[in-house]
Amino acid sequence: MGKFKTKFRALKKLPHWAIFVFALFLKCVAHCLFRIKFEDPNGYTNSNETFIFAVWHNRILFLPAVFPRKVRIKTKAVVSASRDGQYVADMIAQVGLGSVRGSSSRKGTQVQREALKAIQENWNIAFTPDGPRGPKYHMHPGPIHLATSSGCRIIPVSANASRYWQLNSWDNFQIPKPFSKLTIVVGEALSIPQGISTKEELNIWRKTTGDKLMEITKD
């Protein structure tokens, strides 16, 4: 196992066919082995409004494959600037999602600029606000910074599996079990005041947004 891991880490980039096969596998598994329920009581996914989506890191495995295609093709996800992040960017591209590379801990200023530019071009932006290093279920300020500078509303999203395996990782990454029910919940949009300038205001809205995301998160 150690030798395989060393060889994998030595790869500069996975071959395109491997990314394609893995993405196809995720789509097939998601639509064939799960009972998928989609909850969007406010109809945001049918809106022409541009949004900022926020979903916890441990729930993202099948979400890109099951979220409505009409939303995916006008959404860019904030993905880590690391090499592993490149694998994620390549994979989500197979299901129609674009990407903005960076995080709160790496190239943070650059990713905010690129995300704001994408919003101005009518792209939605999707964050995993506790990634890429945690702590688990801790809202980092990236989505709040982007919302206050762009005027876009933040929508909390969760993917709740009725049964799942849980990895021993920092986020307790969840892998839904076959034939479980996977419920995608689109929460109520939050309007962040524009021009937030103080750390105190930022922290109030960061906590409020994190609380709203936890309200629709079921472990």
Residue (of 164, 169, 162, 95) closest to 126 by Cα position:
95
Is 185 a member of any domain?
yes
Q: Considering the domain boundaries, does residue 96 fall inside one?
A: yes
The answer to the question of residue 25 being in a domain is no
Give CA–CA dist 217/52, Å, rounded. 18
Report yes or no on 73 lying in a domain.
yes
- Tell me the C-alpha distance between 175 and 117, whole Å: 34
Summarised one tens digit per residue, pLDDT across range 93-139 is 999 999 998 765 555 688 899 999 999 999 999 999 998 889 999 99
Q: Is residue 14 part of a domain?
A: no
User: pLDDT tens across 174-198, in order?
Assistant: 999 999 999 999 999 999 999 998 9
* 71 located within any domain: yes
Distances from the Cα of 185 to the Cα of 40, 42, 53, 69, 131, angstroms:
6, 11, 12, 16, 20
In a domain, 76, yes or no: yes
Has residue 139 been placed in a domain?
yes
Query: Which residue range(s) make up the domain with 54?
Result: 35-215
Q: How many domains does the chain have?
A: 1
